[in-house]
Amino acid sequence: MPLTAMTGGSNQSLSTALVGDLSNERQRGKRLGMLYTVGDLASAVGPPLAYGIISWVGLDVVYWLCAALLGAMALVSLRWTAAR
């Protein structure tokens, strides 16, 4: 459970920061709105989807997917930070 919470919290803050940094002032609101809309949809669809996946592959695979998502967001963040 802590890994899931850490993944969700860090991804939300990192993705918001990336969208804010990479968008010009005119497009920032629209892009952040799209980001949060997709996030809300994923919050609605994700849990039932995860429960379905758990019955096929097990809980450990779901945790590994969360860890991979956290790692991917960290790499993207480091790449953009290094480029600046």
Q: What is the pLDDT of residues 10-63, one digit of tens each?
A: 777 778 888 888 888 899 999 999 988 988 898 899 888 888 888 899 989 888
Give pLDDT, residue 1: 58
Q: Yes or no: say if 83 and 22 are a contact pair by the CB < 8 Å rule.
A: no
* Per-residue exposure over 51-81, b if at least 16 CB sit within 10 Å of its own CB, e if not: eeeeeeeeeeebeeebeeebeebeeebeeee
Give pLDDT, residue 6: 65
Give pLDDT, residue 26: 92
Q: How is the chain split into domains, by residue range? A: 2-83
Give pLDDT, residue 15: 80
Give pLDDT, residue 5: 67
Give pLDDT, residue 8: 64
